[in-house]
Structure 1
Amino acid sequence: MPQITTHLNDSSAIPSEKVSGPWRNAWRAFRKNKIAMAGLFMIMFFIVIALLAPLIAPYDYKAQELADRLKPPSAEHWFGTDDLGRDLLSRVLHGTRISLWVGTFSVLGSIILGTLLGILAGFYGKWIDMIISRFFDILLAFPSILLAIAIVAILGPSLQNALYAIAIVNIPTYGRLVRAKVLSLKNEEYISAAQAIGMKNSGILRHHILPNSLTPIIVQGTLGIATAIIEAAALGFLGLGAQPPAPEWGKMLSDSRQFIATAPWTVIFPGVSIMLTVLAFNLMGDGLRDALDPRMKS
């Protein structure tokens, strides 16, 4: 009798390009979105600038040359100079570091605290949910920029306190998002099965609830960095963020607003930098939403 051989364990029978998984499929969908990829490349460009700013900046961003004040863009100063004779290109390059640092770490703080509170509220419910939800409602009752201004006014004007303020005002955004996701997940059959076999709540939260809540957090976090950069620029414009001589884009706009008519380049370059950075994160965030949301797939 001829022998019949099988290759059930032969992984080579499956082409590597056919191997799939939720994150691999999401990356494939993201790569097909040209606009989202453009946003990703723009973000990578700004990250490289932030890392290499001390090396590629032609001048010291703090160096003042009053004899060269308000010079228009030229071969010597590509972006021109400000009212103190400082090279605008050098200040814009170093300002990239500040904006990305504030945007990234303020959102990271919001995500950590918001996710923790959202999971506790959604999973345990009852009085825990009531207290946390009322805390979210109180924060949401104030316009975010006004609440950030109040927090910075109490803590004192500085870049670090502006970061704290932005992180605090955005906690409800991630907390309510995670709470809603947990409420839908905790009634799933696999959660009931985990409870039936005696798995502790901490294990359920760590191994089942949190991993399945990451998708909306990632999307919202990417979009939230753009919002945080705008809020940091707004606080800097009001003099509540980075203090001189730090080259923060919002502060640069504030210092140059009186020269809009006579030296428009002092406003154009910081403003365009804010616009391009925010645009990049919005494009990438929209692409991640389309790639990670099953409802967007055919």
Structure 2
Amino acid sequence: MATLEKEKRQEKIKIQEQVEKPVSPWKDAWRSFKKNKIALIGAIIVLLFVVVAILAPWIMPYDYNKNDLVNRLQPPTGDHWLGTDDFGRDILSRSMYGARISLTVGFSAVLGSIIIGSFLGVVAAYYGRWVDTLISRIFDILLAFPSILLAIAIVAILGPSLRNALIAIAIINIPNFGRLIRSRVLSVKEEEYIVAARAVGMNDSRILIRHIIPNSITPVIVQGTLAIATAIIEIAALSFLGLGAQSPKVDWGKMLADSQQYLVNAPWTMIFPGVAIMLTVLGFNLMGDGLRDALDPKMKS
């Protein structure tokens, strides 16, 4: 009898071991993301630029703003791997420091857009009525203007500077996140578990924080990753027009603006900042596509 019970216990243990352990949605998304080789390449590119941006003050071979007129417009050599610009400044050092500014502005602008846009979108969708109408009309007004022209107008009013360029980029991206999370909240708030939460007397703030926002944030994460790429292009465009970084600070857009007249005689002064922008944007786009595939159940096979 004891032997029979022992065998039953062993069989029960084997059956339990064969049952797959529950996996959290985030772990499942990470597994899916790791299987996407192209997305991993994008993540590696982004990580590389982030590390360079963080460590730039310590790994730059030269002072990014040090003039050396004797060696101006020198092509890539052993001393200056990416050459020098019209003031003899090392392009590699300036590109590294430019990564620091461009990525900081891109991340900060998108983070501000996500916070403000998500707040407005959640409030509009959850409370509806005149609140929804008012916020939605504000989004429509902002979206009625071409984004880059609206950013130029905002910086022109506030004055050329990196801070004002950051504010402008954050403002023009608010409607995108607001409308995105609004549509998601409109769907989630009608779910049965939300109705049940209201029925048991849970207040609005607790419902929003514990249920609605966590179940609506996934598309915002994906859109945020893609928006950083767009923000980097936008800050480069503003700096190229003289509305972003001001001397002695430098970003990739300002480097392009300073070297545009040397495109024929010294093309390396424009090529390397342009390649830096292209690779960074490519990395964020590849990573964003991978996150979309990993986080969206409809995209999973």
TM-score (norm 2): 0.95
Q: How does 1:1-298 map to 2 (within 5 A)?
A: 3=5, 13-14=16-17, 18-298=21-301
The CA deviation at 1:6 is 6.2
Return the alpha-carbon distance in structure 1 between the equivalents of residues 170 and 187 of structure 2.
Answer: 26
Percent same amino acid among aligned pairs? 65
Letter in 1 for 2:72: R
Q: CA deviation at 1:66?
A: 1.1
Question: Structure 1 residues 24 and 15 mapped into 2: Cα distance closer, same or farther (>3 Å)?
Answer: farther
How many aligned residue pairs are there? 297
**Could you tell me how far apart the structure 2 residues matched to 1:95 and 1:269 are?**
11
Deviation of residue 135 (structure 1)? 0.3
Task: Give distance in 1, aligned partners of 2:249 and 2:274.
Answer: 16
**SS class of match (1:213):** coil
Partner amino acid, structure 2, of 1:237: F
With over 3 angstroms needed to count, the CA separation of the structure-2 counterparts of 1:15 and 1:68, relative to structure 1, is farther
Pairwise CA RMSD of aligned residues? 1.9
> Aligned partner of 1:208: which letter?
H
Displacement of 1:18 after TM fit?
Answer: 4.7
Q: Which amino acid aligns with 2:183?
A: A
Structure 2, unaligned runs of 5 or more: none
Gaps of 5+ in 1: none
How far has the Cα of 1:13 moved from its partner?
A: 5.0
Question: SS at 1:245's partner residue?
Answer: coil
Q: 1:251 to 1:194 in 2, by over 3 A?
A: same
Q: Give deviations 1:127-170, integer Å, cap 9, x for gaps.
A: 00000000000100100000000110111100111001000000
Q: Distance in 2 between matches of 1:34 and 1:61?
A: 35
1:160 is aligned with what amino acid?
A: R
Structure-2 separation of matches of 1:283 and 1:32: 13
How big is the shift at 1:16?
Answer: 11
In structure 2, what residue type is equivalent to 1:232?
A: I
1:242-287 CA deviation, whole Å, 9 max, x = no partner? 0012121001101111100000000000000000000000000000
SS of the residue aligned with 1:64? coil
Q: Which amino acid aligns with 2:295?
A: L
Q: Distance in 1 between matches of 2:261 and 2:96?
A: 22
